[in-house]
Amino acid sequence: SASASAAAPGGPGAASAGAWAGWRAPASSAAGAAAAATVKREPGAEGQGAAPAGPEQEAARAGPPALKAYLLVFEDSVEKYRFQQALVQESSAMDTLIRARQHITVRVDDRLQEASAPRSSRRGGGSRTLEAMVQQKVIVDMREFRSALPFMLYQRSLTIDPVTIPVGDYVLSRDICVERKAIPDLVQSLASGRLYQQAQNMCHFYANPSLLIEFDPGKSFALQNSYTIARREVNVSAKDLLGKLALVVLHFPKLRILWSPSQRFTADVFLTLKEGRYQPDPKAAAQIDAVDFELEDPAPGAAGAERPLRRAAHTNSAAFDVLRKLPGVTPRNMYALARRAGSLAGIAEMSQEALDDVLGPGNASQLRDFLQKEAAVHALVEEPAEPAPDA
C-alpha cells in the first residue's frame, strides 16, 4: 500500500515520508500498523543541513505550555458583578495610592523642634543629643508579664525593662504612659471607680497619658457580648459602659484612648508612638508615687522621664493647672519655671533675661506677650441713667 511503501526504507515514498517528522501510518492499514514507527529524516547525501524540527520537537524545545486560568461565572449573575466591582476597586485603590505618594509629607515631631530650640548653655541645653532616641526602650510593669504583649514588643527589637511602676502599665517615653485594660478589667475598673484614680495619676505625672483598651482576637470586637456577660460578676449594660467611659474622658481631656483588636496590633502602635521620642528612665518611673510625689524637670544631660521629688505640704495643685495653660509653658519647662518664680505673681515680675534662661527665647516671648497684653473689657449692659431731681 501507499502507507507501507512510505514507511519502508528506500521505498518510493521515503523522501516524502521523511519530510514529516513524527508521522505515523494510519491504523486502518495492516501494513501500516505493523510498521507504525516514528520516522526521522537523515541528513541529505548532498551535504544539506537537518530538516526543520517537527511539532513534537518544537514543543519539547519550548518547554511546558503557559498556564491559563479560566473563570467560570454565570452570565448576568451577582458573582460576576461582584468580581468586576472588586477589579474596579483594586484599580482605583492603586491609583489613589500613587497620587497620595506623590504628595505625601514627612511628619516632624514637635518634641524634636522643641529640643532643637536655642536654650541657655548654662542649663546644659546643648549637652543632650539624639543618640538617646536611637535605642528603643519600653518600661513594662512586672505584673504585665502575665500577658503576651511584652513578648510581642521584644519580637519587634524593643528593649524591655521590667520594673514595678506605681503609675501606668507601660512607659514609652518620658511623657507617654499607657494603662492597658482588657474588656473584663475595664468593666471592673469602671464599676469600682479605680479607672478614674488611675487616669488622674497618669494625667498628673505624664503629659500624654493613654488608656489602651485591648480586645481578644478570638472574640467579637465589642465592649460586651453574651460571653462577657456570663463571665463577669457585675452586670453592666453597654450604654452604662460607654457612659462611664465618656465621663472619664470628659474629666481628663488630655487622656487618649487606644483601641486595639489584638496584642500584635498594640505592639505596632507602640512602635509608632515611640518615633521621635526620648527614651524613658526606669529609675524615675519606679520612684514615682501616685500620692506623695510630684515631678521635676529632668536633670541636664539625662534623657529620661521627669525626676520625682517629695511633694511639699504647701503645693498648690490649682496653681500648676493654671501654669500648664499659659502659652510658652510646656511639661518640659513647667517645673523649672515654678522653682524660679515661686508663684504665679512671681512669673509676672521676672525679667526677660530670666525667662529666656528658663524657657528659651521663643517660649519666653510668647509668655511675655501674653502677660503684657491689655485686657479689653466692654460693658455688656449699659449703666442706668441717673434719676432726674425732683421738681
Question: Mind listing the pLDDT tens digit for each residue in 170-225?
Answer: 999 988 999 999 988 888 888 888 898 899 889 888 889 999 999 887 776 666 65
Q: Give residue 144's identity as a one-letter amino acid code.
A: E
pLDDT the model gives residue 134? 63
Superfamily of domain 317-372: 5' to 3' exonuclease, C-terminal subdomain (1.10.150.20)
State the CATH class of domain 130-223+239-287: alpha beta
Predicted confidence band at 292 (pLDDT cuts at 50, 70, 90)?
very low
Q: What is the pLDDT of residue 301?
A: 37
pLDDT digits (tens, 9 = 90+) for 97-131: 888 887 776 554 445 555 555 555 555 544 454 54
Q: Distances in Å between the alpha carbon of 136 and those of 18, 72, 164?
A: 77, 52, 19
The one-letter amino acid at 240: D
For the chain, the structural domain boundaries read 130-223+239-287, 317-372
Residue 330 banded pLDDT, cuts 50, 70, 90: confident
Is the model more confident about 358 or about 319?
358
Distances (CA, A) of 121 to 102, 126, 218, 337: 41, 6, 55, 17
pLDDT, tens digit, 9 for 90 and up, residues 227-257: 454 455 445 666 778 888 888 989 888 999 9
Angle, nearest 10°, between helix axes 352-359 and 361-372? 130
